Amino acid sequence: MLTHLEACEYLQWLQQGPDSRGECDDCHHERELWQMPVELDDESGGDAGWQLCAICFRRMVKSKTMH
């Protein structure tokens, strides 16, 4: 789980330009994409190189944040 501070740090990545444009690995829509941080990629061992759109990136960070 992420602390609130960690979640804020990851969400600041979205303020930077996207890493690429293409199909989101989560929702499969064509959008601007951000590379998923290895620290958050716990399902694939951190080596999948998943790219998520801003909507899915925010959803993923929120799901991993302690409430």
pLDDT in tens, the chain (67 residues): 899 999 999 999 899 999 999 999 999 999 999 998 887 776 555 556 889 999 999 999 999 898 6
* Domain of residue 41, residue span: 4-63
pLDDT at residue 41, rounded to an integer: 72
Given this model, what pLDDT does residue 37 score? 82
Whole-structure pTM value: 0.84
Structural domains of the chain, count: 1
How far lies 48's CA from each of 13, 23, 24, 52, in Å? 19, 15, 13, 12
- Counted residue by residue, the chain has a size of 67
The one-character DSSP state at 4 is: H
Query: What pLDDT score does 17 carry?
Result: 92
* Cα 63-52-13 angle, rounded to 5 deg: 80
pLDDT number for residue 36 = 86
